[in-house]
Structure 1
Amino acid sequence: MSTGVIIVLIVIVAAVLVVAAVLALRARGPQHGGSLKRRFGPEYDRAVVRHDGDTKAAERELSERVRRHGSLHTRPLEPAERERFEARWTAAQERFVDSPREAVGEADRLLAELAGARGYPDGAQYEEQLAALSVHHAHHVDGYRRVHRVTHAQAQTHTAGAGSGGAETAAASDTEELREALVAARALFEQL
């Protein structure tokens, strides 16, 4: 092969690669849905469901979260502060055996305080705090959502005709939900 033919082949291959790269970038679209899906993981799927399957609307919401909270700089905890949070978490877990609902409530308050101490929006602004946490801890934020939901759920009423076996089953189911929420929340606690 002559040098001219080799140069022409290299130019053709380079042109094909450039065209392929441009087409790939256009296919991703302006919101970069693939990167949002990777970044947010289960939060991406939750946003799509919340928007009735409209991925564009979900991606707009998630992009807005990144715009608002993506540059948030968290502060590290002082060693003594870290120990206090860890001791409180351990106490909440130990309390679960005797008082599951109170233990989960303490976990909810503790996560709000810990996130605030690290520099996230104040826990009194739960939705804003959750949005900021989802940008930086998307794979673990659902645990916080679960303990918050269980803590703030209205007391469920049981049907008047339920016998003691039904009440025991409901209590066991409720305790299991509380346990699962606390376990899921632990991952975010450890991340923070």
Structure 2
Amino acid sequence: MYEPNVVGDWQEYEEHAGLRVRVHRLERSEPPRGRDDAAEGLTYFRLRVTVENRGTRRFCVHLEDGQIDVRIGPDGEGAFVDWRNSQFVEGFDVYPLRRVTAVLYAAGPEAALSQIDAQIQLRVDDEWASRALWTGCVDGHEEPAGTGTPAAGGQGGLAHQISTFLRDQAGPGTAS
């Protein structure tokens, strides 16, 4: 069964040894160059997408508009993405033990920000990598990966709810 990542989790790419990506720092934030008129009445948030090279060779990475899809609310409606304020990665060579980060500004109705899905499809060395999905919420509290604490706010948090749902779907006798 395919399990989405929780905001803050790293996703390893099997087809590109040593390359990994994550969506993190999902937080309310006004855009640096001012609000877009199309976002009237919406609440802005930003998220960061970091690509890290833990391999032994360099990778040329592209992470531009159209490669990041942000959906909000229980029905998965498209968020307003502010392309003018967002910062993308366009053909950057990521050498071993280096990182590169894209910053995306988006907006949506306040009530829909309790569930945000971000799908990323990285282009590496002019080849498309597999798509990966992260889920979280603006009010979640991201913990560093590997700390053993839920990334989206404890027992009632989105990460806990997803984990519980997936365990229930797997049936009895599965380890947690």
TM-score normalized by the length of structure 1: 0.23
Higher relative contact order (CA 8 A, sep 6+): 2
- Higher helix residue share: 1
Give 1 or 2: higher strand fraction.
2
TM-score (norm 2): 0.25
